[in-house]
Structure 1
Amino acid sequence: MSFGRLERTKGDPPMSEINVTPLVDVMLVLVVIFILTAPLLASAIRLDLPSAEGTQAAGAPNFLTLVLDREGRAHLDDQPVSNAQLAERLATAARASRDTEIQLRADRAVPYGRVVEVMGLAHQAGLQRIGFVADPAK
């Protein structure tokens, strides 16, 4: 036994390869961050638009909501109307704008003939755009 001297053990030799796993993890996190933020950056273009007279922003398209309940009664914009009143109000809307759209909501139990009759009133008034509203399939 000798005093004052401890034996040294040989340490591990230096590693010459790069550990790629943490690098891949960091790169995947960065890719996810870029995928999430890219759409936000693309739509955030700041512009200082000039102003001019005569320009007018396009408003929302005009539409009327026409509902046919289970008994076949017509409701225009949540107000019950007869066939004569319906024809008159559709003609008034057509005179105001030919691009007025009718959103037709008909109950499943309404006979097809009644739906065609209401569509005929709309066409006679001069309204050609009719959209059929339905619930999505389950």
Structure 2
Amino acid sequence: MGMGAPSGGGSGGGRGGRRRGGHRGGAISEINVTPLVDVMLVLLIIFMVAAPMMTVGVPVDLPETQAKALNSETQPITISVKNDGQVFLQETPIPVGEIAAKLEAIATTGYNERIFVRGDATAPYGVIADVMARIQGAGYKNIGLVTQQKKDQ
């Protein structure tokens, strides 16, 4: 019998003992998604923090008060009054006489809709009072004035 078994014990014989010479430091064909998930979570957190700051686009110098911040579950309708008396519904300029009709058109929960009035600190009081009277006259009861919290000195 001329056939002999390979001698065991060495690393040169058989399949199990061979080393693959060309594949030691080669490219891995799997995609590692952990860094991608980390980056996406960081971006999500950044946008969650920055989104409330970008909601109102009309620059208004709000008066400062000692009132606490409001907790709002839903996005309210915002009416802004600039220092020159110009009125904005969300970010769109609107004549004062059309406020009630526009509010009825965009309100999603009817007359229970939360409406915030943002009046510039130097805006004429009469314009802000007129805007609030028109909102209330249209039947809305949930009206709030937006101010900034006073910084402790």
- Give the TM-score of the pair, scaled to structure 1: 0.51
- Taking only the aligned residue pairs, the percentage that are identical comes to 27
User: Which position in structure 1 is the counterpart of 2:85?
Assistant: 72
Over the aligned positions, Cα root-mean-square deviation in angstroms equals 1.8
| Relative contact order, higher structure (CA 8 A, sep 6+) | 2
Instruction: Answer with 1 or 2: which has the greater Rg.
Output: 1
Q: Structure 2: any 5+ residue segments left out of the alignment?
A: 1-72
The number of residues matched between the two structures is 79
Deviation at 1:131, TM superposition (A): 1.1
After TM superposition, list the pairs within 5 Å mapping 1:1-138 onto structure 2.
Answer: 60-61=73-74, 63-93=76-106, 96-138=109-151
Quote how far apart the aligned CAs of 1:63 are. 2.0
Asked if the contact 1:94–1:127 (Cα under 8 Å) also holds between the matched residues in 2, the reply is no
Show CA shifts across 1:38-92 (max 9, x none): xxxxxxxxxxxxxxxxxxxxxx446211100011111001100002322211233
Q: 1:94 to 1:120 in 2, by over 3 A?
A: farther
Displacement of 1:105 in angstroms is 0.6
What amino acid sits opposite 1:110 in the alignment? A
Looking at structure 1, the residues matched to 101 and 119 of structure 2 have their Cα atoms a distance apart, in angstroms, of 20
Q: Cα deviation per residue 1:72-127 (whole Å; 9 max; x = unaligned)?
A: 11100110000232221123345851210111110011121111100111011111
Check whether the contact 2:107–2:113 (CA below 8 A) recurs between aligned residues.
yes
Preserved contact between residue 104 and residue 110 of structure 2 (Cα < 8 Å): no
Q: 1-side partners of 2:126 and 2:97: how far apart?
A: 17
Which stretch shows the higher mean deviation, 126-135 or 82-91? 82-91
